Amino acid sequence: MQLIPMNLGPLNPDVEQLAVATVLFGAVYLLVGRFLPRINRALDERATLLEGVTGGPAAAIRREAERVRAEHETLLSEARREAARVRQAAREDGAALITEAREDGLRERAEIVVTGQARVEAERVEAEAELRGCVSEVASELASRIVGEPIPVPAANAGLLAGPGAAAPDDGAGTGTDGGPTGSGR
């Protein structure tokens, strides 16, 4: 049986099909009606979250957090610049201290070298003077050994052999001027 007595094709449903469709629609309506409040709550929460991101009280808190973060980044960058400045100053101070220590070391080295050279020169002069006195004695002794006769030490060096402040002997014994012994005993 058709609802409208005209031939409308698929637009004219049967009464039995319409009754089944109405019962099914009611069941689906009741089922969705039960879950609709939960869905609405989830949609409301989503809207609140989206509102927080785009505007509203959550957006104000977010803007405040971003402002505080920007302040912290500014302070951090200033602290980094200050640390870099302190590091640079420490490097410069360290380089200055190293240069100063190097100059002090070079100065001390120069003083030590000058003192050492003066000491070496003084010792050289002293050794040379001592050796000059001994050279004539050693030469006379060697010549005496070669010749086989005692050769006297020259009178000019006799005072040097006796040491400073000692007088040259007057008696001629040991000076070798009269052909006597030279005092070497060899």
Residue 24 pLDDT grade (very low, low, confident, very high; cuts 50, 70, 90): very high
Taking the complete model, does pTM exceed 0.75, yes or no? Answer: no
Kindly state the average pLDDT of the residues 157-175. 46
Task: Report the sign of the C-alpha dihedral through residues 120, 123, 124, 125, in that order.
Answer: positive
SS3 content of the chain, % helix, strand, coil (to 5): 75, 0, 25
- Give the model's confidence band at 105: pLDDT under 50 very low, under 70 low, under 90 confident, else very high: very high
Q: Residue 122 pLDDT > 80, yes or no?
A: yes
Band of residue 2 on the pLDDT scale cut at 50, 70, 90: low
How distant, in Å, are the alpha carbons of 144, 146, 174, 181 from that of 149? 5, 8, 14, 9
**Interval 35-83: pLDDT, tens:** 888 888 888 888 877 776 666 666 678 788 999 999 999 999 999 999 9
Sorting pLDDT into bands at 50, 70 and 90, what band is 16? confident
